[in-house]
Structures are given as structure tokens and as C-alpha cells.
Amino acid sequence: MGLSIAMKINFPLLALAVGAFAIGTTEFSPMGFLPEIANDLSVSIPQAGLLISAYAVGVMIGAPLMTLWLARFPKKTALILLMAIFTIGNVLATVAPDYMSLMGARLITSLNHGAFFGLGSVVAASVVPKDKQASAVAMMFMGLTIANIGGVPLATWLSQNTSWRMAFAAISILGIMTILALWKALPQDHDVVKPNVAKELRVLTRAPVVLALLTTVMSAGAMFALYTYIAPSLHVFMQASPQTITLMLVLIGIGFCVSNFNIELTQQAIESIGLENIATNQIELSPYLQNHKLVDFLQAQNIDVTSYMTLAYGKVLNDPVLMHIAQQHQVSTAQISLAWALQRGFAVIPSSTKREHLMSNLKAQEIQLSTEEMMAITQLDRNQREVSPEGLAPMWD
């Protein structure tokens, strides 16, 4: 269980993970100090938010172009060049005199993003035995996970207590450290394989690939729509202090570790990164889909279970059994479904756009269901899944 001792001290993987940490920190950290940037550069919050959009556009354009351009170089050289671009971009952001200069700096910084992770994954797999390749790639991407938990909140704290320029300066130092680490740790390779551009682009005609890309676009778009403005939103709507905003960013980073895995994928995750690094597993759970086998496995491993789709798109709200139990407690059917999940020991993440529904959901914590009522709800299991995109969703156990 967990990474082998050899992999834990694999310096090439460590160097790649440091690079992933640096990139993850520079990608997400401006969201934490967006108000500071807006105030200093005399722009509105929406205008400052476009800095995030600029980075995203740069990633989209830069990933294929940089990968094709760098194909002429050995992979070690290519990765060092990418981190040099990263460092230059962050240095320019540190000294940017105005809004447009910062916008340009963010575009430059973003050009390394996709290509680094693509080439880095290939290199990570090449420095370990074949049976450890998946674990090696996971080890590199662990740097991105740690960036969300530690790097982004730390950069936010630094910006709040000094200036946002100091945050970018610190990230620039991370870039220099990564360049040195890559130069020292990565083996020198001389094989240069030029990609077949037409063949590479042909993969975009495959329906499963397009569906996977669209799933990523929609889910990332929804997440970034809120995450981009998380700092001003917390400040305006919750009057959150700078310390609270930093703490919320830590919690969001932990939330990014949620896996949505079945038993097989969870076992692979445990073997790749170690049980101690898995905070929770977010899975679809409702009275109509109770996932008993997977839940039992997770709880036996002491992995917290997070339930989404607990109301099954509202389908459980008209269930006669749940309605009867709700009447007995003089509460809503939704509250009974949420109380059932909470009583099973699940973390629950119901969503709503209406304040009254949110307040009602919170009151589910006050409901105590009897053993007989819990058993009655158990009998409602239909193995009825609501979220199941063909070819993309894992098979539940």
C-alpha cells in the first residue's frame, strides 16, 4: 500500500512534482487575491477576473503549439525551456506596471502549462519500471494537488500580508528551483521523435474523446465560474476576513482531492499515492442508489464518503415511503433523504440556488431517524444511477 521506498526517493519524479506544484500555484493563486490586484491596478473585479481567462486561453492555445515546437528537443531540454517560460512570465507579472502588462505576463506564463504536464507524464513513466508507470504519473500530479491545498492558500496569505507582487515573486523563485531540479535530476535523453500532426489531430474525430473533452469543459467551466471570484464573493456575501478566505481556499484544495472512484480505482489510488493521502471519495448516493459494496469498502479503509446527487434529481421527493417518514417527523422529504445520508456517516453536498432551500437542507442535521425508518429507506435501493455518461462514468460495484 502506498508508494514504494524507491519511488518515494525518485528524484526525477520529485523534480517533476515540484514543477507541477509551481504551475498549480500560479494557475489558481490569483483567484485568492483578485481584490488586491483590482485595487492596486484600479480595475473592476470582473476586469481582474479576465486575468484568469487569459491564462486559460493561453493554456488552450499553448498546449498543442508548444508540444509541437518542442518536439525537436530532447524531453529534458524541453521541460527546462517550459519552466524558463514559466519563470519569465511570473517575473513579468511581479513587475507589471499596469493591467495590460499583467495580462500579457499571464498569457506568457500559461504557455508552458499543457505541454509541461504532457511531456512530464511521458518522462515520469520512463524513469520507473513498467509496473510502476501509473504510480509515477500520479506522483507527478500530486504536486498539483498539494498546490491547491498549500501553495494557493500560502500565496493568498502572502498577498494579503505584503502584496500580490510578492506572491508572484515567490512563484518565480519556485520556477528557478524547478529548473535547477530538472537539470540536476532528469536523465539526459537524446531520442527525438517528431510527432505526426495529422495523426495526432485525428483522435479528435473519435466520439469518446470528444465526450471526454466536453465533460471537462463543462465541469471546469462551472467550477471556475465560482472559483475565479471566490475571494470577492466570500468578502461581499459573507463578510469573510482575509484569514477566513485563506482557510476556505485550503478547504477547497482538500475538496479537489475528492476522487469519485469505484473499488478498483480506489485501490489503484491507494497503491499510487498511499491511503493517508486520500481525504474522501465523492460518489453518487441516494435512497435509490445506495452503493453498499463500495461504501462498505471505503468505510473499512477509513476513507470518508461524500454523497452527491442525494436527492436523485428530485426523484426521491415523491417517494411514498419517504413522504410517510417525513410526515411523521413533520419535515420535508428532501430533509429525510439528507438525514438518511448523514446518519449513514456520509458528508452531503446538496446544491440549490434558493436561500430557503439551503436553510432547509441544513436543518436535516437535527433529524434523528429510527432503526426501522433507516431499514425502510434501505429497502428503496434500486441501483438507479442518475449520472452515467456512456464510456466515461466508472461502473459502480
233-253: per-residue pLDDT in tens?
Answer: 787 777 878 778 777 777 666
| Confidence check: pLDDT of 6 > 60 | no
**Spatial CA neighbour of 85 closest among 148, 178, 186:** 178
Q: Which CATH class is domain 5-255?
A: mainly alpha
Ordered by start, the domain boundaries in the chain are: 5-255, 263-378
| Confidence check: pLDDT of 3 > 80 | no
Render the burial of 162-186: b for 16+ CB within 10 Å, e for the rest: ebbbebbbbbbebbbbbbebbeebb
Any idea which of 31-35, 177-181, 200-204 has the lowest mean pLDDT?
A: 200-204
The whole-number average pLDDT for the span 168-172 is: 95
| Confidence check: pLDDT of 109 > 50 | yes
Helical axes 45-70 vs 113-126, angle rounded to 10°: 50
Identify how many contiguous H helices and E strands the chain contains and give both numbers. 20, 3
- Tens of pLDDT along 316-344? 889 999 999 999 999 999 999 999 999 99
pLDDT at 281: 85
263-378 folds as: TIM Barrel (3.20.20)
The answer to whether domain 5-255 and domain 263-378 are alike in fold is no
pLDDT at 272: 66
- Cα distance from N-terminal residue to C-terminal residue, the chain: 21
pLDDT at 313: 79
Edge-first strand order for the sheet with 304-308 is 280-284, 304-308, 347-348
**Spatial CA neighbour of 17 closest among 154, 193, 169, 135:** 135
Main-chain dihedrals φ then ψ at residue 112, nearest 5 degrees: -85, -20
Grid coordinates belonging to 211: 465526450
